[in-house]
Structure 1
Amino acid sequence: MSAGILIGVLLQVGNYLIGDLDFNIFSMTFSTYGFFVEGIFHAGGKIFVNALKMLVVPLVFVSLVCGTSSLSDPSKLGRLGGKSIALYMFTTFVAVAFAMSTALLFKPGEGFNPGTSASTDYVAKESPGFVQVIIDMVPSNPISAMAEGQMIPIIVFAILFGIAMTYAGEAGKRLTGFFNDLNDVIMNIVNIVMNFAPYGVFCLLAKLSATVDSSAILAIFNYFINVFVVLILHAVIVYPLLLKITTGLNPITLLIKMREVAMFAFSSASSSATLPLTMATARQKLGVSRSVSSFTLPLGATINMDGTAIMQGIATVFIAQVYSVDLSTVDLLMVVLTATLASIGAAGVPGVGLILLALVLQQVNLPVEGIALIIGIDRLLDMTRTVVNVTGDSTIATIVAKTEGELDEDIYNDKSLASQKSVIE
């Protein structure tokens, strides 16, 4: 990341001080600035962005089918499942709405110079009316919707498909196995693309640093602060407030006992990798029963992506401001709806947040290339939002356990357990 920024800055400074230099390769003349910035770095960055866009439709469709078919199991979706899902969806909705409100208020993207190429090369498409948006949510041709990247219709069709699979008997079970296998394959493709992410990020940042002025650096810094502050506020205000209102428990106790989980989540940037530790902490330090924790926490690792929703909400508004696009009320509602629904079935592994951001940007007709503006600082934010995600998982598990009479309050209130270094043998 730093290498890309450094090389981009050196190219820009060199071009300013001594001008563009020409060199010959195979009897062909190239300019230094154009060869690297508009050639190698541009191509490498575009290939990486295309790879992210390539993954959006298959990842979202298959993961939603898998997630919905599992969640719609009649043996699971009783009062316990319904309550868990409702709370997870509520906190995700609050997260993205709160995030977008702060971005609209503080306008981090307005730090860009409106004369830069980033803000003048893109012309926004006209948004459809609210009634048409509602109509288009149900696809007349789901295959066409996939080909055109119309994400809300794809999400609706995937959810319906997953629910139908649970009522299809043996045929549904066979399809469930197929989609689970397919999901594993797609996640391996995600891992392959993410293994090349350092090179893609290098190219994106090198070109960005070579073509933007100092105002862009300030804008990106403002974006980082906006996301980071909202993530912290959501973790230390929204979750504790929800826990206190619904259960009367002391939320400080939960936050203290979650320290080990938070540190592991921060270092791994993966809700799925943190799940064993989250479940052990919930049972042994928070007093959540095994029956509740074994269902609610894996469910949360699958559908509770509040940290990712916060990033998507702010990033969408930020990129719209950079490209001088005014998001309508319908657009803002679609961002909230898309980010909330897309969290169902999203894999809790590093890098998926950027793919889901591409989904949200496409839904409101913003250029996916805008991801290049924020990708360089996303790793640290990814680590932070994973902490938010696992904190939310444990909070909701505690609330559900308390309201179902499945919480051992003696364990929850035992302060000596907070000092235990590890709950995993």
Structure 2
Amino acid sequence: MSSTSAPATTSSTRRRLRFPSFGAQIVIALVLGVALGFVARQMGPVDADAPNWLTDVLATIGSSFVGLLRAIVPPLVFLAIVASIANLRQVKNAARLAGQTLLWFAITALISVAIGITLGLVLQPGSRTSISADAAADPGRSGSWIDFLVGLLPTNFLGIEGSANADSGSVGFSFNVLQIVVIAIVVGLAALKVGKQAEPFLTFAGSALSVIQKVLWWIIRLAPLGTVGLIGRAVATYGWNLIPSLGMFTIAVYAGLALVLFVLYPVILRANGLSIRQFFRGAWPAIQLAFVSRSSIGTLPLTQRVTERNLGVPRSYASFAVPLGATTKMDGCAAIYPAIAAIFVAQFYGISLSITDYVLIAFVSVVGSAATAGLTGAVVMLTLTLSTLGLPLEGVGLLIAIDGILDMGRTAVNVAGQALVPTVVAKREGILDVERYESASAEDLFSDDDDEREVARDAADTAAELESSGTRS
């Protein structure tokens, strides 16, 4: 009798000790981060060279978490695209999928920039500001069409870019995700062309991808801790006191972001027969992380995860569409913000914009968004827009003080769009797992069973394709 009651008691105890859901953990982390940020701010003025200890701790926690995510991006993107190329080839409408993805990128960007231009003209943020012209300053770095086009060409196999500091003697490295996408596509296509001889390579790529994804899920489990650090540092360090002088500009930007996120995207979802509630329920973990991390690339692993696992987009398609979106699909940073900011600068300096100028703003937003390359901030995209219009680049200095506050909302909208477009395209092409879309929740992110089944299915598809290629050759 006692032997049967003991397991039941143990099981009941385990249920009572279970942690809150992943979504609840993120919400708790946001509240705790805001509270700690206000405490850090009350501890004294924040000096960029010597911040108080709490601000320093929060900054270290947040930057370490984003650093872990960014470190996993290069192998994840490369291996995922290489492993999925073979599977994409089996899809008869693979070229159509790629075309539809780019088309919807352009459609949503065009509507978003139209919203930004309209708000800029209606709210007149540049004429309704108390900021001094003394705040104008050279942005230090700017975007150009030549740099963007040259940046598409890989400088080395890994897409790594180095920089050196002569004063400190330090050497830093960063990566260009768009270059990694280009390299992975070329390698994947070459593997298919080789045929049966490439089977060991593709098998290795699939196995390595499984290992990288396991490491990724461990990192994602740290998201609540990273959220505390990121949002706490934001509250402690950003120039909230400067918002009043740029109040109308801030309102205009966030109004535009809200219209895109909560009006435009829901309309697109409903028009394609998709549940609005389920989309936000599935994509919300990535949107939350984007808001606090301010990095589309840092959020990329989680964006790809929710797109596949929660929204039901096939891995073979999501592995291509999401990384591409993380570098070229930025309705917040590359559409809403530069449109309103360009109008602000023009109004501030008393420069009249013509119809041609507004068309140029739309063109830069639709075609030039890849120039931002998923990096934190939108200075590159804004300077590209201003230089194209012939507006003073010093105008960037007027807005840079509150850029961190605006960047949180911009990045959240970027990531939402990067998950939306593959979902809509998959639904229109009949490859969306509708049952998963309608039922998945944030907790499904950590289910290993589906991973094993999907990896096995991808491996079987790749083997079949290689065998077929070997027979034809």
TM-score by length of 2: 0.54
Match of 2:115 in 1: 98
Relative to 1, partners in 2 of residues 1:333 and 1:118: Cα closer, same or farther, differing over 3 Å? Answer: farther
Q: 2:346 and 2:411 mapped to 1: Cα distance?
A: 25
Hey, which bits of structure 1, 4+ residues long, moved more than 4 A?
Answer: 73-77, 116-121, 149-152, 179-183, 186-191, 216-219
Pair 1:371-2:396 in alignment: yes
Helix, strand or coil at the partner of 2:373: coil
Pair 1:392-2:417 in alignment: yes
Match of 1:320 in 2: 346
Relative to 1, partners in 2 of residues 1:285 and 1:181: Cα closer, same or farther, differing over 3 Å? Answer: closer
Contact 1:270 1:386 in 2 (8 A): yes
Pairwise CA distance, 1:382: 1.0
Pairwise CA distance, 1:184: 2.6
- Alignment match of 2:253 (pick from 221, 227, 248): 227
Q: Deviations over 1:157-212 (max 9, x none)?
A: 939x96xxxxxxxxxxxxx4426667633799897xxxxxxxxxxxxx99xx9xxx
- Alignment match of 1:273 (pick from 269, 284, 298): 298
Relative to 1, partners in 2 of residues 1:265 and 1:101: Cα closer, same or farther, differing over 3 Å? Answer: same
Match of 1:303 in 2: 328
Pair 1:78-2:95 in alignment: yes
What 5-or-longer segments of structure 2 have no aligned partner?
Answer: 1-40, 47-80, 165-170, 175-237, 449-473
Q: 1:379 and 1:423 mapped to 2: Cα distance?
A: 31
Matches within 5 A, 1:28-43: none
**Percent identical residues:** 31
Contact 1:289 1:406 in 2 (8 A): yes
- Alignment match of 1:341 (pick from 355, 367, 374): 367
Q: 1:180 and 1:348 mapped to 2: Cα distance?
A: 20
Q: 1:230 and 1:117 mapped to 2: Cα distance?
A: 25
Pair 1:401-2:426 in alignment: yes
Match of 1:418 in 2: 441
Q: 2:274 and 2:407 mapped to 1: Cα distance?
A: 29
Helix, strand or coil at the partner of 1:380: helix
Q: 1:383 and 1:180 mapped to 2: Cα distance?
A: 32
Relative to 1, partners in 2 of residues 1:190 and 1:96: Cα closer, same or farther, differing over 3 Å? Answer: farther
Pairwise CA distance, 1:345: 5.1
Contact 1:262 1:391 in 2 (8 A): yes
- Alignment match of 2:315 (pick from 290, 314, 319): 290
Contact 1:120 1:323 in 2 (8 A): no
Contact 2:130 2:246 in 1 (8 A): no
Helix, strand or coil at the partner of 2:270: helix
TM-score by length of 1: 0.60
Contact 1:271 1:390 in 2 (8 A): yes
Q: Which moved more, 1:376-385 or 1:179-188?
A: 179-188
Matches within 5 A, 1:82-231: 82-112=99-129, 117=133, 151=144, 154=146, 158=149, 176-178=153-155, 184-185=161-162, 218-231=244-257
Helix, strand or coil at the partner of 2:406: helix
Q: Deviations over 1:310-360 (max 9, x none)?
A: 111101101111111111111111111112211135311213x11221111
Q: 1:150 and 1:388 mapped to 2: Cα distance?
A: 22
Q: Deviations over 1:36-87 (max 9, x none)?
A: xxxxxxxxxxxxxxxxxxxxxxxxxxxxxxxxxx9xx997971111110110
Helix, strand or coil at the partner of 1:97: helix
Match of 1:237 in 2: 263
Pairwise CA distance, 1:419: 5.2
- Alignment match of 1:252 (pick from 248, 264, 277): 277
Match of 2:33 in 1: none
Contact 1:231 1:388 in 2 (8 A): yes
What 5-or-longer segments of structure 1 have no aligned partner?
Answer: 8-69, 122-148, 163-175, 192-204, 210-215
Q: 2:395 and 2:371 mapped to 1: Cα distance?
A: 25
Q: Which moved more, 1:222-231 or 1:259-268?
A: 259-268
The one-letter amino acid paired with 1:229 is A
Contact 1:270 1:350 in 2 (8 A): yes
Q: 1:365 and 1:320 mapped to 2: Cα distance?
A: 10
Pairwise CA distance, 1:367: 1.3
Helix, strand or coil at the partner of 1:185: strand
Q: 2:255 and 2:161 mapped to 1: Cα distance?
A: 34
Relative to 1, partners in 2 of residues 1:83 and 1:374: Cα closer, same or farther, differing over 3 Å? Answer: same
Contact 2:312 2:437 in 1 (8 A): yes
Pair 1:261-2:319 in alignment: no
Q: 1:348 and 1:81 mapped to 2: Cα distance?
A: 20
Helix, strand or coil at the partner of 1:324: coil
Helix, strand or coil at the partner of 1:78: helix
Contact 2:135 2:397 in 1 (8 A): no
Q: 1:86 and 1:268 mapped to 2: Cα distance?
A: 28
Q: 1:285 and 1:150 mapped to 2: Cα distance?
A: 36
Q: Deviations over 1:129-153 (max 9, x none)?
A: xxxxxxxxxxxxxxxxxxxx9946x
Match of 2:223 in 1: none
Q: Deviations over 1:6-25 (max 9, x none)?
A: 99xxxxxxxxxxxxxxxxxx
Relative to 1, partners in 2 of residues 1:91 and 1:263: Cα closer, same or farther, differing over 3 Å? Answer: same
Helix, strand or coil at the partner of 1:108: coil
Q: 1:86 and 1:248 mapped to 2: Cα distance?
A: 19
